[in-house]
Amino acid sequence: MNLEDFDYELPEELIAQTPLEQRDASRLLVLHKDTQEMEHKQFPDIKQYLHEGDCLVLNDTRVMPARLYGIKEDTGAKIEVLLLHQQEEDTWEVLVKPAKKVKVGTVINFGNGEIRADCTGLKEHGGRILKLSYEGIFYERLDELGEMPLPPYIKEQLPERERYQTVYASEEGSAAAPTAGLHFTNDLLSDIRAMGVSIEFITLHVGLGTFRPVDEANIEEHDMHAEFYRMSQETADRLTAVREKGGRIISVGTTSTRTLETIARDNDGEFTESSGWTDIFIYPSFEFQAIDGLITNFHLPKSTLIMMVSALAGRETIMQAYQEAVAKRYRFFSFGDAMFIL
């Protein structure tokens, strides 16, 4: 398929720059994929579309303050580093800017030497391998020096770090939030449980794979960057039981979807305990084996994420829904409104 098939016009003022004061105050576009019917609701109305016996699957990853600003030891040049994932103790794959200034052997200092990084390897698209050294506990140093890695289209400062975390975030290691989950409050989750809807947690640490731009005109030539995922056997057993009893599995976010579909793909459509690295790329013609519905935000033009939702609901249907969302002045991207595809 052609990359241009996933483009759309978005007025810049519809890109949400700040989160709403109340997490669940966002709007909700409900898209019925079989009939192409659309409904305009508020996020708490999601309860109207959930049934006893259904299951919501959420990604419990927690965002690290993964953006660091440092200087090269030899020249004093300013370097920006985004931690992507830990390869082994104190060795990280990162993105650096400007990449041309960081070669093997480059040393970068952060703070007053509180963290020191030696570049030991080169990766494509500005990726580097850094060996870190520091005093004390790394995550304490990172909490002192790092910033939350907000996407580049967000120009405003985030007043509270926790507002870029889901209320159920627990597993440290993500370079970005699983933003579909930002709409949920503890009270809303309690209400959903009280309806007889089960809630399960899996982990996918969001990295470059989710957000790396697609450069190839033929999208099938795009290579996804791998991201780490994990699901327990207990969760797998409960998901299997939901399916056997006729309940629906509703994925909260594209990251949960990538995890569930990776596990189903690798296990003949079944759920089982699993962990590892996934580079699954979901675009139209993909056959879903794990999920029945998806709660998600509105995604960037020509991104792998809009390709995923197009695979679930159909490209033309998604493009019509996005046109409708623009016309109705929905808020887009990380801090924006939500869509429920069912």
174 to each of 26, 98, 144, 204, 206, how far by Cα in Å?
24, 22, 17, 8, 5
Angle (CA) 295 299 300, round 5°:
175
Of all residues in the chain, what percent carry a pLDDT higher than 70? 99
Give tens-digit pLDDT for 117-134: 999 999 988 899 999 999
Q: Per DSSP, what are the bridge partners of residue 297? A: 338
Residue 209 has pLDDT above 70, yes or no: no
Give the containing element (helix H, strand E) for 317: helix 315-327
Residue 212 has pLDDT above 90, yes or no: no
The span from the CA of 302 to the CA of 299, in Å, is: 9
User: Region 77-105: what's the mean pLDDT?
Assistant: 94
Q: What pTM was computed for the model?
A: 0.93
Residue 211 has pLDDT above 70, yes or no: no
Residue 277 has pLDDT above 80, yes or no: yes
Give tens-digit pLDDT for 140-184: 999 999 999 998 899 988 879 999 999 999 999 999 999 999 999
Give tens-digit pLDDT for 37-50: 999 999 999 999 99
User: Region 80-108: what's the mean pLDDT?
Assistant: 94
The span from the CA of 35 to the CA of 15, in Å, is: 28
- 11 pLDDT band, cuts 50/70/90, is very high
